[in-house]
């Protein structure tokens, strides 16, 4: 009888999730290589809850990138963890406040409840973050989970070294990612080494590299080094992975819904907070002193939205760049997905910024821009190049005003909304560019959302299929959008 058959789920699992649980549930070390949208978070939640019920653990340390770790706290755990389980959930914060100290202290009381500690991977580059994680792992019987584990692919990085070192204190370890290999098979070494140094059978990165990479000697500035020119023995590597991993793609999940929606949250920087507060105060003053119209409210919403995206248009007609986490989050998401990607952005400024960043990282021929400034004569070639499976063009970057209607972009099964338009029809139409006749896969839609800004309200309204222009008026509802 499968181990998990004795467990009562809070949310019904898909067939592939049951298979993943049955394969991993009692393993001390395991990798869930599940494509984004396949529900790997639920799998590991059900796994550690069952182990807690069987008195095999009483603590869980979840580590994820900044844009992901908050999602565990606000959505994944509340959605999938059974309500009857006694638990205490603490989210790490860099702020050394009295409240945060009190929250951390709850992790170390002697109660029998399940203690869940959620941290961002960046904290493992700091002394304070590493010390508190170490204390938690040593005082509880823990499962140590690395979500989006490619964040520890660099074996030399400080956070990787600290994560691997602390892993020895965990009773169970899990790595979760949709793309364990982002650039090279060598990315796998430190991820698997975290799980268990013996799994791959190599005691060092260099011996692992020698087995699976073609190397030639090179010299530069008086320094000799080995240059990787290709890879070898990959069938052998795949066989090694099979013994401790579960791999599935969206196209193989027969009962998965055709559309999967994900939010990736980011925080405003101090630079954004300062400007946002000033513009917010001014918007409230302006609208309180005049007759409110849809256009006047939308104008203020646009200004606040632009700040959440990382820029502001000045009264002199220039654009001022603001420090922002949005582009960094986009690049992180792209590292986690495979295949071609549609990226929708609402502003010309954003489209050009995205194009520049992707061109620098992946090559200028990897990106096609599709918005009002692109000549009509060029647009057909961009669509053709994106749809061509043999083309180097991987990214379609456009706005929904120009590209959201009529065209076919079924080469992609990942759609990222870098920033949203406020028009519900444009959102629905843009979703259908990928999800239409000719699409054989499920499609994942990812919204990048800036917390505690009008951006959250825009995405919420669009997800609920509300027309924003119709919701901002009446009984001074516009104030709810601006505060």
Residues 370 and 309 in one domain: no
pLDDT on residue 474: 53
State yes or no: pLDDT of 408 exceeds 50. Answer: yes
Mean pLDDT of 367-377: 93
Residues 232 and 349 in one domain: no
Q: CB burial class (10 A; 0-12, 13-18, 19+) of residue 267?
A: middle
pLDDT-based confidence at residue 70 (cuts at 50, 70, 90): confident
Q: Where in the sequence is the domain holding 287, given as residue range(s)?
A: 270-321
pLDDT on residue 475: 47
pLDDT-based confidence at residue 182 (cuts at 50, 70, 90): confident
Q: Are 256 and 37 in contact (CB under 8 A)?
A: yes
Which residues neighbour 370 within 8 Å (Cβ) at sequence distance 6 or greater? 379, 382, 383, 396, 397, 398, 402, 403
3-state secondary structure of 342: strand
CATH number of the structural domain spanning residue 347: 3.40.50.300
DSSP string spanning 226-267?
Answer: EEEEEE--HHHHHHHHHTTEEEE-GGG-TTS-SEEEEEEEEP
Quote the pTM value. 0.85
pLDDT on residue 356: 97
State yes or no: pLDDT of 21 exceeds 50. Answer: yes
State yes or no: pLDDT of 2 exceeds 70. Answer: no
Structure tokens at 461: 């309204």
pLDDT, greater one: 221 or 191? 191
Quick one: how many helices (H) and strands (E) in the chain?
20, 17
Q: What is each CA distance from 114 to 10, 30, 433, in whole angstroms?
A: 16, 21, 44
Residues 37 and 177 in one domain: yes
pLDDT on residue 1: 46
Mean pLDDT of 160-168: 96
Residues 406 and 434 in one domain: yes
State yes or no: pLDDT of 288 exceeds 90. Answer: no
Residues 13 and 148 in one domain: yes
pLDDT on residue 451: 93
Q: Tell me which H or E stretch contains 189.
A: helix 188-195
Residues 282 and 313 in one domain: yes
Residues 191 and 328 in one domain: no
Which residues neighbour 4 within 8 Å (Cβ) at sequence distance 6 or greater? 18, 21, 22, 25, 46, 50
Residues 302 and 327 in one domain: no
Name the average pLDDT for the chain: 91
Q: Within 10 A of 259 (CB to CB), how many other CB atoms are there? A: 14
pLDDT tens digits, one per residue of 86-130: 999 999 988 878 888 888 999 999 899 999 999 999 999 999 999
């Amino acid at each position: 009888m499968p181990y998990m058959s004795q467990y009562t789920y809070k949310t019904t699992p898909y067939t592939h999730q049951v298979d993943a649980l049955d394969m991993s549930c009692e393993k001390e070390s395991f990798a869930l290589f599940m494509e984004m949208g396949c529900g790997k978070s639920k799998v590991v939640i059900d796994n550690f809850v069952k182990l807690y019920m069987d008195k095999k653990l009483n603590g869980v340390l979840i580590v994820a990138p900044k844009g992901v770790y908050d999602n565990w706290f606000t959505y994944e755990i509340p959605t999938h963890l059974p309500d009857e389980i006694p638990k205490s959930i603490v989210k790490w914060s860099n702020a050394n406040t009295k409240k945060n100290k009190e929250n951390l202290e709850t992790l170390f009381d002697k109660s029998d409840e399940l203690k869940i500690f959620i941290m961002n991977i960046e904290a493992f580059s700091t002394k304070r973050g590493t010390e508190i994680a170490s204390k938690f792992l040593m005082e509880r019987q823990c499962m140590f989970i690395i979500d989006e584990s490619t964040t520890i692919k660099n074996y030399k990085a400080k956070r990787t070294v600290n994560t691997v070192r602390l892993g020895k204190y965990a009773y169970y370890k899990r790595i979760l990612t949709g793309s364990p290999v982002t650039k090279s098979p060598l990315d796998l070494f430190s991820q698997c080494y975290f799980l268990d140094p013996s799994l791959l059978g190599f005691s060092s990165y260099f011996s692992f590299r020698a087995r699976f990479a073609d190397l030639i000697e090179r010299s530069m500035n008086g320094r000799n080094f080995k240059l990787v020119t290709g890879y070898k023995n990959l069938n052998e590597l795949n066989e090694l992975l099979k013994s401790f991993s579960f791999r599935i793609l969206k196209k193989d999940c027969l009962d998965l819904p055709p559309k999967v929606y994900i939010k990736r949250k980011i925080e405003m920087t101090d630079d954004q907070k300062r400007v946002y507060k000033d513009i917010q105060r001014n918007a409230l003053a302006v609208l309180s002193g005049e007759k409110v119209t849809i256009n006047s409210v939308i104008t203020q919403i646009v200004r606040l939205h632009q700040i959440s995206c990382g820029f502001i248009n000045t009264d002199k007609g220039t654009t001022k760049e603001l420090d922002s986490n949005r582009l960094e989050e986009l690049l992180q998401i792209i590292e986690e997905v495979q295949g071609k990607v549609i990226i929708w952005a609402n502003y010309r400024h954003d489209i050009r910024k995205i194009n520049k960043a992707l061109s620098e990282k992946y090559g200028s021929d990897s990106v096609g821009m599709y918005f009002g400034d692109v000549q009509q004569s060029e647009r057909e070639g961009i669509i053709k190049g994106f749809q061509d499976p043999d083309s180097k063009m991987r990214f379609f970057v456009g706005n929904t005003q120009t590209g959201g209607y009529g065209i076919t972009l079924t080469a992609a099964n990942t759609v990222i909304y870098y920033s949203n338009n406020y028009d519900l029809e444009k959102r629905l139409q843009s979703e259908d560019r990928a999800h239409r006749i000719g699409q054989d896969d499920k499609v994942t839609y990812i919204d990048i959302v800036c917390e505690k800004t009008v951006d959250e309200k825009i995405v919420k309204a669009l997800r609920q299929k509300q027309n924003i222009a119709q919701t901002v008026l009446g009984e001074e509802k516009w104030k709810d959008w601006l505060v």
